[in-house]
A = this chain, B = another copy of it.
Amino acid sequence: VYAVQYTVHMAVRNPLSRERIVDAAFRLLEQDGWEALSMRRLAQELDVWPMAVYRYFRDKDELVDALVDQAAGTMELPGTEGDWRDRLCDVLDAARVTLQRLPPELRTRLGALLVAPEAGLAGEGVEILESAGFGAEQAGLAWSALGAYTIGAVEIAPTDKARFEYGLDRLLDGLEAEVGAVRR
């Protein structure tokens, strides 16, 4: 009886949830950066005692996983127009913009997701490469190369789009030459 009443009471005034916690975490990250994201400050932000968050996330690592998933979800996959090169450029530039907004600690983890075949984010890229004439294995290798380049480019110069495009164009030239050679 007490339990039910208390639950109703809390639900009315301020129900905690994974979503609210994740939102608060991103707010904290944007305002004060990675080092500000502690379980204790997060709880403070949510006007709750530190341990309340642990009902929703087993530990800090699980919370960070959720942040990475959320960031992966908001990664805009633009429409598929133009030839395979244009489409890859669009997809990779969207990835670049998303990665660029994250602190390095999350960037690394989202980057790994970007190329992991089982994570789903690689699917579209590999498809485009196969439509360009790459076999399944080559498409996987090519996507890894494109992903590696994108992740590294963000790492060394997060905001410099022209540099990014220069290297991407060279890499795509090399890939195009290879797929052309295979076709013949």
Contacts and interface: CB of A to CB of B under 8 A. Distances in A.
A82 to B, nearest CB: 19
B112 A141 contact: no
A145 interface: yes
Contacts of A144: 153, 156-157, 163, 166-167
How many copies altogether?
Answer: 2
A134 to B, nearest CB: 11
Interface of A: 104, 108, 111-112, 114-115, 141-142, 144-153, 155-157, 163, 166-167, 169-175, 177-178
Given A111-B155, A142-B167, A148-B152, 5 more contacts: A148-B156, A151-B155, A152-B155, A174-B175, A177-B177
